[in-house]
């Protein structure tokens, strides 16, 4: 159950990298989307979610 979130995170990053090459760099949203901080924030969110779920699974 915990590994599903790691797989989702990795799949999201792969999709992000593939989709990133197809995006034109013309507006402010694309510049924000293509920034490195966006990917770091997504990784941190997936990591926190996986830690919380693993904590609840261990308590049961």
pLDDT at 27: 63
* 4-9-15 Cα angle (round to 5): 120
pLDDT tens for 9-55 read 777 777 776 766 655 555 666 666 666 677 677 777 877 887 787 78
Q: Domain total for the chain?
A: 1
pLDDT at 54: 77
pLDDT at 20: 63
pLDDT at 33: 63
**Which structural domain range is residue 46 located in?**
2-59
- In 3D space, the residue among 8, 34, 10, 14 whose CA is nearest the CA of residue 23 turns out to be 34
pLDDT at 31: 64
Q: How far apart are the first and last CA of the chain?
A: 14
pLDDT band at 2 (very low <50, low <70, confident <90, very high): low
């Amino acid at each position: 159950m915990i590994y599903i979130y790691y797989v989702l995170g990795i799949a999201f990053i792969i999709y992000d990298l593939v989709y990133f090459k197809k995006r034109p760099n013309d507006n402010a949203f694309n510049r924000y989307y293509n920034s490195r901080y966006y990917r770091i924030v997504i990784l941190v969110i997936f990591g926190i979610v996986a830690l919380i779920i693993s904590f609840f699974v261990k308590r049961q």
